[in-house]
C-alpha cells in the first residue's frame, strides 16, 4: 500500500532531506545512500521504520474493518410516555 510512497530522511551532517522509497526500506535491513547536498555517506537501519510502518498498517486495517461494519444502530429518542412518575 505504501510501497510507492517516499520518506524524507535528514542528513546527520547538513540536515538536507533526502527522499527514499518505502519499498527500499522494506526490502533491506540497512540502506546506504549519499546525501545530495554534502555528499556524506549515510547508513540507515530500517528495523524501527518497519516496526512503525507495521503499526500504521494495523491501525489502517482496524479503521477499514470498522468502516465496513457501517454506522451503529441509532438508539430511539425517549418520548414523554417512556417515563413513569
Task: Assess if residue 53 is contained within a domain.
Answer: yes
Please check the confidence at residue 74 and state whether its pLDDT lies above 80. no
d(CA 22, CA 24): 5
Does residue 76 form part of some domain? no
pTM of the full structure: 0.57
Buried b (16+ CB within 10 A) or exposed e, 35-56: beeeeeebebebeebeeebeee
* Host H or E run for residue 24: helix 22-27
Please check whether residue 14 lies inside any domain of the structure.
Answer: yes
Identify whether 80 is part of a domain: no
- Residue 16, domain extent: 6-67
In a domain, 11, yes or no: yes
54 in any annotated domain: yes
Taking the C-alpha atoms of residue 61 and residue 57, their distance in angstroms, rounded to an integer, is 6
Q: Is residue 81 part of a domain?
A: no
When pLDDT is cut at 50, 70 and 90, the band that residue 1 belongs to is low
Q: pLDDT (tens digit, 9 = 90+) per residue, 11-51?
A: 999 999 999 888 888 888 888 899 999 999 999 888 888 88
Task: Answer whether residue 28 is part of any domain.
Answer: yes
d(CA 75, CA 38): 62
Amino acid at each position: 500500500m505504501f510501497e510507492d510512497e517516499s520518506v524524507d530522511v535528514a542528513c546527520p551532517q547538513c540536515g538536507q532531506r533526502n527522499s527514499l522509497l518505502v519499498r527500499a526500506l522494506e526490502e533491506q535491513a540497512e540502506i546506504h545512500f549519499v546525501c545530495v547536498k554534502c555528499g556524506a555517506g549515510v547508513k540507515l537501519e530500517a528495523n524501527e521504520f518497519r516496526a512503525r510502518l507495521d503499526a500504521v498498517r494495523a491501525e489502517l486495517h482496524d479503521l477499514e474493518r470498522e468502516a465496513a461494519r457501517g454506522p451503529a444502530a441509532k438508539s430511539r429518542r425517549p418520548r414523554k410516555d417512556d417515563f413513569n412518575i
